[in-house]
Amino acid sequence: MQDLTHYINGEHVAGISGRFADVMNPATGEVQARAPLASVEELNRAVDVAAKAQPAWAAVNPQRRARVLMKFVDLLNRDMDKLAEALSREHGKTLPDAAGDVQRGLEVVEYCIGAPQLLKGEYTDSAGPGIDLYSMRQALGVTAGITPFNFPAMIPMWMFAPAIACGNAFILKPSERDPSVPLMLAELFEEAGLPKGILQVVNGDKGAVDAILDHPVIQSIGFVGSTPIAEYIYGRGCANGKRVQCFGGAKNHMIIMPDADMDQAADALVGAGYGAAGERCMAISVAVPVGDETADRLIEKLVPRIEKLKVGPYTAGNDVDYGPVVTKAAKENILRLVQSGVDQGAKLVVDGRDFNLQGYEDGFFVGAHLFDNVTTDMDIYKTEIFGPVLSTVRAQSYEEALGYAMDHEYGNGTAIFTRDGDTARDFANRINVGMIGVNVPIPVPLAYHTFGGWKKSAFGDLNQHGPDAFKFYTRTKTVTARWPSGLKDGGEFHFKAMD
């Protein structure tokens, strides 16, 4: 069994706290490594190193910083298979899904190569008599990110790529459940030419998180995870005067209108609801067909598709639709919620509770579940299950369906499937959710737009990646300048000496 490390000042550093977290193989249920849990002293050391390294990096012009990112992209492509395999081994997701995790992070790095353009300020000539105005974007200093287990490559890159492109140093506290890929990313970035100390990885638990929140040198914090922890981090970080953006839970609805292409809608629901074992904040977990006839047709289409899903370890390659969930506790929580749905009166149309994979009996595999006749007072409707469970809530009208999504406390993503442009346009305009799909089940924006939800799915004024990221990781400084001048003989322009 391997003991993992921190990555501080360009070196792999063994933990000294004496505390470790088990890193599991979700397919077998076996402990395959241990991640050190940092002490406050270890986190402080990383901050000290970052604070010393950051001014020189900020002084590098944006074009040269962008060249380092360009090289980093090349190395990510070179090691794509290696990164995907390491990610699958610790997280459990299939190899194609793991490669997609890396790819979507890589795309944000590509966007950040445009830093010279994105960091340009504004200029006004002769705003007053002899007065010019201009603004500039400057790095914050030392920044930090606290990232979740479900996207151990993508979300760290969504945070550290723009932060570093802006001239900041970045301290990453990844999930202790699958920390190997973040460590590999830090190595690759330095291979690309990033100076030591600009990107560091500190593994840890709540102790490390609190040390980040309280450290006076850290200027900004990004977080992705559950809503209760997002609220905690946002509140404590803001109270300590930091710039904070936190993204929390989700309960994403997909409305299916009677005129929708039902085969297309069913295929979309299966991919969006069960892909990655449902461990995605943008997963569709609630289907809302409008009208009983629509609901009956949808269920008829869904059942055979769901029953054909193949569940297995990532080593099975492309023959697997999804793998295990990340921990035994996650599996137990999913099955507890499924049982609550049955106990509270929902109809369990596809029952995956007895799923068992021969040879992997100790793995954290969960069969696919489909509920019908779910109501809004049930736990399976109110709670983010984060597993392969799809709930069907029947609506009798478009307005009723719209109300379900609008009234839910979460507002991360939502979708509508219809052939009617007026309905789609009305839905997009009225819905109080941050990311909208029209005949697209998982509406994750591309890197040059921003990602973020509403309501209890997000805390903070700015979203992830896209233009918002460059606003979040910089401060705007505005200069008003006047240069007294006069005219010499012959009309030659002359600057007077200034002390």
Say which of 112, 166, 246, 281 is annotated catalytic.
281
Domains of the chain and any CATH numbers: 2-248+466-479 (3.40.605.10), 252-438 (3.40.309.10)
Alpha carbon distance 495, 103 (integer Å): 54
pLDDT per residue, tens digit, the chain (499 aa), is: 799 999 999 999 999 999 999 999 999 999 999 999 999 999 999 999 999 999 999 999 999 999 999 999 999 999 999 999 999 999 999 999 999 999 999 999 999 999 999 999 999 998 888 899 999 999 999 999 999 999 999 999 999 999 999 999 999 999 999 999 999 999 999 999 999 999 999 999 999 999 999 999 999 999 999 999 999 999 999 999 999 999 999 999 999 999 999 999 999 999 999 999 999 999 999 999 999 999 999 999 999 999 999 999 999 978 899 999 999 999 999 999 999 999 999 999 999 999 999 999 999 999 999 999 999 999 999 999 999 999 999 999 999 999 999 999 999 999 999 999 999 999 999 999 999 999 999 999 999 999 999 999 999 999 999 999 999 999 999 999 998 775 455 444 444 443 3
Establish whether 246 is a catalytic residue. Answer: no
Query: Going by DSSP bridges, is the β-strand pair 123-128/131-139 parallel, antiparallel, or unpaired?
Result: antiparallel
The pTM (predicted TM-score) of the whole model is 0.94
